[in-house]
Amino acid sequence: MKKNLKRRQVGKTKCEVSVLGLGGAPLGNLFEVLPEEQALGTVSAAYDAGVGHFDMAPQYGHGVAEHRFGHILRHKERSSFTLSTKVGRLLKPVRDGDFKRGSWKGELQFKIVHDYTYDGVMRSVEDSYHRLGMNQIDIALIHDVDVAHHGDDYDAKFKEAIEGAVPALTKLRDAGVIKAIGIGVNEVGPSVQFAKNSQLDCYMLAGRYSLLEQDGLEELFPLAEKQGFSFLIAGPFKSGILATGATPGATHDYRAASDAVIEKVNRLSEICQRHNTPLAAAAIQFPLGQERVASIVTGAVKPEEIEQNVELMAFKIPDDLWAELRHEGLINEAAPIPKGPFA
């Protein structure tokens, strides 16, 4: 059943996104090859359920995600949704098949080349148009300029992005080609550095501000308030453990959860149960307590997961639950409490 998901403004732009978005990493065959019909059905189910924002990247399946999203979305009324994709990785054809796929499974024969230069970013946007089969991208995000991906080369890549990617995207935004620009990273540190050295509209922050941990409260969120940029929060379930609880095999940041994480999740679960609230509902709604958070972007690999996430957004969470979590020291005292439901 279609829900009327609330919408929020992206930075100071005229772009608005639904508070629930669909992330494309799993649909790019992350860890497993999804049947095409199932993957396309998941995108269709999201649109039909009222999800109005779709996020993807060239990296996801080395082109697979953009192909799949475009296959469905290019047949929809363009004003009825927004989409974001990423720049900084170009896809180059490989004939012998000898290249690293990492966690991505599938058959597309393209290797990834990192390129945050002005020309590389312009090329990346054009390439995404072709893979999507569409002529409009709403939000472009500079992808993974962080220490985890670049190690000792981080400073050089950051400089390349500031001198190349940011001016390229700024030109496209100012010309009205793209509505909003930003970065997509998994780390708070680089986000702060970008905020101090550029004027961006939004930051996709994956896995760092969640019910389990509230990174960025001291410096990043105050910068957002001062400068007026927004956040797209990805990974609200921390790769699974905040959706299922600390069940056997539950993962935290795509790895086996530590004893400390399991203990904290169990405490969160106990309080949620006491207030007749699904842990997953608290997890997916919590980041929206921050007014600068425009959307929660979750992954899904089947239509039923879409339906579940939309229902979680519509769940009415009692104020007493948030009060108890704060009293027990399970969420930061400085973290604002969401005023849901959001559908």
Task: Let me know if 3 is a catalytic residue.
Answer: no
Task: Tell me, yes or no, if the pTM score tops 0.85.
Answer: yes
- Position 298 scores a pLDDT of 97
Q: Which of 86, 157, 238, 264 is catalytic?
A: 86
Q: Which of 12, 14, 47, 60 is catalytic?
A: 60
- Position 96 scores a pLDDT of 77
pLDDT tens for the chain, 343 residues: list them. Answer: 688 999 999 999 999 999 999 999 999 999 999 999 999 999 999 999 999 999 999 999 999 999 999 999 999 999 999 999 999 999 999 987 677 888 999 879 999 999 999 999 999 999 999 999 999 999 999 999 999 999 999 999 999 999 999 999 999 999 999 999 999 999 999 999 999 999 999 999 999 999 999 999 999 999 999 999 999 999 999 999 999 999 988 889 888 899 999 999 999 999 999 999 999 999 999 999 999 999 999 999 999 999 999 999 999 999 999 999 999 999 999 999 999 999 9
Q: Are strands 110-114 and 89-93 parallel, antiparallel or unpaired?
A: antiparallel
With a CB cutoff of 8 Å and minimum separation 6, the contacts of 12 are: 201, 228
- Position 100 scores a pLDDT of 83
d(CA 221, CA 82): 24
Check the CA dihedral 144-145-147-149 and report its sign.
positive
- Position 54 scores a pLDDT of 98
CATH number of 7-327: 3.20.20.100
- Position 107 scores a pLDDT of 79
Identity (one letter) of the amino acid at 293? V
**Of 112, 118, 219, which is closest to residue 170 (Cα–Cα)?**
118
Task: Let me know if 226 is a catalytic residue.
Answer: no
**Of 97, 119, 101, 121, which is closest to residue 59 (Cα–Cα)?**
101
d(CA 271, CA 260): 17
- Position 328 scores a pLDDT of 97
- Position 95 scores a pLDDT of 85
d(CA 193, CA 146): 10
Q: Can you read off the two tokens belonging to residue 289?
A: 């307590």
With a CB cutoff of 8 Å and minimum separation 6, the contacts of 79 are: none
312 contacts 284 by C-beta, under 8 angstroms:
yes
